[in-house]
């Protein structure tokens, strides 16, 4: 029988880790039961397509200072081969979390080399990256952890807006409870579309979600040490209504255009134009959420005078139009 292994980290976890573990176990168990009753399952002649196990380095793992305890089925040393490994989210102190799970990280690396596929949920991506398995590859993680991830793992191509990545047998997903969308994606891959639709209906999860852009709160990368760039960021943030060019910014800070661009991208992960767009759109989002201002009023407030251009940038960053965003997050505006 094929195997799906759900990892239970020993410490360095949170209640979100428990949600990932329990959610994975429940959905794959339901998928097993449903698939066995389909024509494909009956033809296969087995009761279950996969053996689903919780595995770790200890028999029991405590979460949230002992509030919850998860008992594992098996120690990782007793699993010689598995088909899919699920990594749950980790605590916010990512470097500590990685140091505290060295045995799991080494085992993951060995299993991947032996042919296993790996799926990480939310900040579980840090465990994958620390094993070196994401170097040169694309991945996603919770949008709030994106800046820290880029700093720690510069050789990984982080696609923070994407909900799911699928590359070379490694799957990653965005933040928090979006792990449920990754599970549906995996159910379709490991069982079939029919089983994924069944799970979607049973657990009431939207199928085929691809972006976490609408949920992102842009705060700007400020943890770098380039004071000139920090001043430029502050200037952009304090002058929303202005249409600021890169030439204007580089002139204000007495730095050549190319050098200014290079330093800004290195420090923030965005070009100056991208940064300005994100700051403006974040301000527009807040206005749509908290006021009854029209699309045009908000557009002018954040420095746009072309409706088409504003809509295009807004959709590029959030994945939806200004009107769709306002209708979703502001009940009073809809009324």
Q: What pLDDT, on a 0 to 100 scale, did the predictor assign at position 13?
A: 74
Shared domain check, 313 and 181: no
Residue 222 lies inside a defined structural domain of this protein:
no
- Look at residue 200 and tell me if it is in a domain: yes
232 and 130 in a single domain? The answer is: no
What CATH number is associated with residue 259?
A: 1.10.10.60
Q: Which of 308, 284, 309, 286 lies closest to 297 in space, CA to CA?
A: 284
pTM (2 decimals)? 0.78
Regarding whether 123 and 73 lie in a shared domain, the answer is: yes
Q: For residue 210, give every residue at least 6 positions away whose Cβ sits within 8 Å of its Cβ, in sequence order, or none.
A: 162, 163, 164
Q: Is residue 39 part of a domain?
A: yes
Identify whether 219 is part of a domain: no
Domain encompassing residue 281: 227-334
Q: What pLDDT sits at residue 43?
A: 81
How many domains is the chain partitioned into structurally? 2
The predicted-structure confidence for 266-300, as pLDDT tens digits, reads as follows 999 899 999 999 999 999 999 999 999 999 999 99
For residues 20 and 153, state if they share a domain.
Answer: yes
221 falls within a domain: no
Q: Helices 322-329 and 307-318, interaxial angle, to 10°? A: 60
Judgement on whether residues 156 and 300 belong to the same structural domain of the protein: no
Query: Mean pLDDT score of the chain, rounded to an integer?
Result: 91
Domain co-membership, 91 together with 208: yes
Asked, for residue 37, whether it belongs to a domain, the answer is: yes
Residue 191 lies in a domain: yes
pLDDT band at residue 333 under the 50/70/90 scheme: low
């Amino acid at each position: 029988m094929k195997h799906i292994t759900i990892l239970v980290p020993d410490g360095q976890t949170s209640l979100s880790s428990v949600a990932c573990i329990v959610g994975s176990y429940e959905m794959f168990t339901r998928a097993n039961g449903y698939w066995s009753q389909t024509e494909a399952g009956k033809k296969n002649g087995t009761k279950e397509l996969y053996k689903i196990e919780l595995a770790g380095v200890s028999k029991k793992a405590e979460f949230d200072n002992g509030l919850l305890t998860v008992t594992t089925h098996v120690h990782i040393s007793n699993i010689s081969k598995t088909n899919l490994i699920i990594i749950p989210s980790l605590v916010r102190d990512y470097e500590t979390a990685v140091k505290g799970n060295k045995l799991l990280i080494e085992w993951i690396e060995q299993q991947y080399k032996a042919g296993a596929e790996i799926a990480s949920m939310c900040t579980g991506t840090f465990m994958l990256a620390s094993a070196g398995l994401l170097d040169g590859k694309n991945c996603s993680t919770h949008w709030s952890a994106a800046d820290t991830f880029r700093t720690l793992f510069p050789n990984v191509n982080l696609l923070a807006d994407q909900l799911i990545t699928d590359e070379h047998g490694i799957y990653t997903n965005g933040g928090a409870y979006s792990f449920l969308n990754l599970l549906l994606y995996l159910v379709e891959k490991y069982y079939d579309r029919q089983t994924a639709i069944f799970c979607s209906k049973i657990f009431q999860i939207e199928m085929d979600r691809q972006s976490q852009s609408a949920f992102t709160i842009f705060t700007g990368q400020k943890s770098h040490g380039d004071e000139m760039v920090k001043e430029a960021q502050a200037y952009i943030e304090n002058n929303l209504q202005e249409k600021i060019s890169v030439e204007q910014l580089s002139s204000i800070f007495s730095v050549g255009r190319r050098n200014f661009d290079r330093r800004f991208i290195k420090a923030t992960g965005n070009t100056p134009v991208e940064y300005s767009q994100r700051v403006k759109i974040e301000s527009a989002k807040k206005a749509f959420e908290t006021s009854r201002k029209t699309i045009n009023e908000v557009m002018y407030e954040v420095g746009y005078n072309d409706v088409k251009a504003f809509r295009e940038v807004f959709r590029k960053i959030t994945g939806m139009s200004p009107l769709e965003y306002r209708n979703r997050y502001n009940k009073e505006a809809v009324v």
